[in-house]
Amino acid sequence: MLAISDAGGAVPGAHVTLRKPVTLDSGTESVKAAYSRMLLDYRLNARYAVMAHVTARDETNRSLSVTVTDLGDGGAGIRSKEPLGVGNVLSFSVHLPETSLPLHVQARVVWTREYGTAGCEIVSMPPVDREILRDWLKARTRVKKPLISV
Give the number of other CB atoms < 10 A from CB of residue 119. 19
Residue 8 has pLDDT above 70, yes or no: no
Task: Say yes or no: 88 and 34 in one domain.
Answer: no
Q: Could you tell me which residue, 121 or 141, shows the higher pLDDT? A: 121
Q: What percent of the chain has pLDDT over 70?
A: 89
- Structural domains counted in the chain: 2
Task: Say yes or no: 33 and 85 in one domain.
Answer: no
pTM higher than 0.75, yes or no? no
Answer whether residue 150 is part of any domain. Answer: no
Q: What percent of the chain has pLDDT over 90?
A: 47
Average pLDDT value for residue range 51-57: 94
Residue 91 has pLDDT above 80, yes or no: yes
Task: Say yes or no: 94 and 125 in one domain.
Answer: yes
Which residues constitute the domain of residue 93? Answer: 47-140
Predicted confidence at residue 7, as pLDDT, reads 66
Distance between first and last Cα of the chain: 21
Cβ–Cβ under 8 Å, residues 72 and 137 = yes
pLDDT class of 148 with cuts at 50, 70, 90: low
Task: Say yes or no: 21 and 73 in one domain.
Answer: no
3 state SS for the chain: CEEEECCCCCCCCCCEEEECCCCHHHHHHHHHHHHHHHHHHHHHHCEEEEEEEEEEECCCCCEEEEEEEEEECCEEEEEECCCCCCCCEEEEEECCCCCCCCEEEEEEEEEECCCCEEEEEEEECCHHHHHHHHHHHHHHCCCCCCCCCC
pLDDT class of 38 with cuts at 50, 70, 90: confident
Q: Residue count of the chain, please give it.
A: 150
pLDDT class of 44 with cuts at 50, 70, 90: low
Is the omega angle on the peptide bond into residue 97 within 30 degrees of 0, that is, cis? Answer: no
